[in-house]
Amino acid sequence: MTTAKRDTYTPETLLSVAVRVFNERGYDGTSMEHLSKAAGISKSSIYHHVAGKEELLRRAVSRALDGLFGILDEPGAVRGRAVERVEYVTRRTVEVLIAELPYVTLLLRVRGNTTTERWAMERRREFDHRVAELLKAAVADGDLRADVDIRLATRLLFGMVNSLVEWYRPHPDGDAERAQVADTVVHLAFDGLRTAL
Amino acid sequence: MTTAKRDTYTPETLLSVAVRVFNERGYDGTSMEHLSKAAGISKSSIYHHVAGKEELLRRAVSRALDGLFGILDEPGAVRGRAVERVEYVTRRTVEVLIAELPYVTLLLRVRGNTTTERWAMERRREFDHRVAELLKAAVADGDLRADVDIRLATRLLFGMVNSLVEWYRPHPDGDAERAQVADTVVHLAFDGLRTAL
């Protein structure tokens, strides 16, 4: 861990340091002391910005959740056949995950007993549920296979997408790579790897 | 964590307790004291069976790795077209993962600096590489899409399969469920969720 010294701290820069430390040490394993050292500012300076580490967690996971839920209001997610909407949401989920990688990583790793952690887990389940509903609608339209258990397929789809936080590291040519990863996820999940018969 | 009291301990029962504790606390966070308490036997009794916790780790990840590499020698993995072989290996990987869930969970979570951890990570990469080679052969045969980056597809396929250790909990009717999960993974990855056009 490197220690950054800054003259001025904004809530935004403090948040990005906090997210990095939470991801490195785990939320439970992070103390205000760790945050203070990593940010290179005193604990009282941190308390000037936020009430404590739980507020930093709430802000960080909110950023991830706002990104994800925002997708569901985009035109591509609300217009057209369910199968097109669910493909759109899958593609955008990959893009948001990569664009907000440290924030979504934190969201996916949250387990625990604080109100904020439980709230984050609940909101995350709600997002998964919304996608599962779209998948179900696409099955009802006859566009997705009816012989696959949708609950299981949803879990596997998110298992694949969420695995990105474990192994994906952004490249310098970010945008092109991001689009390629999103395309590959959609191809794999919806069309499969096999060539058409 | 429950504390099990036993009159006699075999290396096998000690191993299953150790794997549970490693998965709960992390390998680094587990001391011989923790293992002694969880097993309900003294540390000197544990040392009667094994040289230390690293030996327990080696035995545990070996069990997972033997299960996985064993697949590659099965008739379904060595005979027939590459695409059939890679589907077979994918299906069997899911089955072995579920059958050896705590051991594979430990294998997938290993990160670290001991010789055993590095060896486990290296062997795991070797397994992924063998599967990637099969995928490449199936693309060369024209049976899998050539417009998908195979390295990326391999990562996503394992991301999906390996996510099972995070959310899958075995059911009482284990065999049927295990086969259904394996089928769904293969359908999703190779045929896709879309109905045929």
Q: Span A11-50: which CATH code?
A: 1.10.10.60
List the beta strands (DSSP E) in A57-114: none
CB A22 within 8 A of CB A103: no
Contact B195/A142, CB-based, under 8 Å? yes
Q: Which residues of A touch B147 (CB under 8 A)?
A: 187
Q: Which CATH number fits domain B59-191: 1.10.620.20, 3.40.50.1970, 1.20.1050.40, 1.10.357.10?
A: 1.10.357.10
Contact A194/B190, CB-based, under 8 Å? yes
Q: Which of A83, A164, A193 sits opposite B153 (nearest CB)?
A: A193
Token readout for A23 is 């991801």
Q: Which residues of B touch A190 (CB under 8 A)?
A: 192-194
CATH topology of domain A60-191: Tetracycline Repressor; domain 2 (1.10.357)
CB B9 within 8 A of CB B43: no
Among all chains, which residue has been given the structure tokens 């057209």?
A80
Binning pLDDT at 50, 70 and 90, where does residue B8 land? low
Q: What is the pLDDT of residue B169?
A: 86
Q: Where do the domains of chain B lie?
A: 11-50, 59-191
Q: What is the pLDDT of residue A197?
A: 52
Q: What is the pLDDT of residue A165?
A: 94
Contact B144/A185, CB-based, under 8 Å? no
Token readout for B90 is 């994918």
Among A11-15, B93-97, B136-140, the minimum mean pLDDT is found in A11-15
CA distances from B164 to A87, B48, B100 (A): 22, 35, 12
Residues of chain A under the 70 pLDDT cut: 1-8, 196-197
Among all chains, which residue has been given the structure tokens 């509903």?
A133
Interface of B with A (CB under 8 A): 83, 135, 142-145, 147-149, 152-153, 155-160, 162-164, 166-167, 180-181, 184-185, 187-197
**A49: amino acid identity, one letter:** H
The half-sphere exposure of A1 on its side-chain side, counting CA atoms within 13 A, is 18
Q: How many CB pairs under 8 A join A and B?
A: 120
Q: What is the pLDDT of residue A196?
A: 62
Q: Which residues of B touch A143 (CB under 8 A)?
A: 194-195
**B53: amino acid identity, one letter:** K
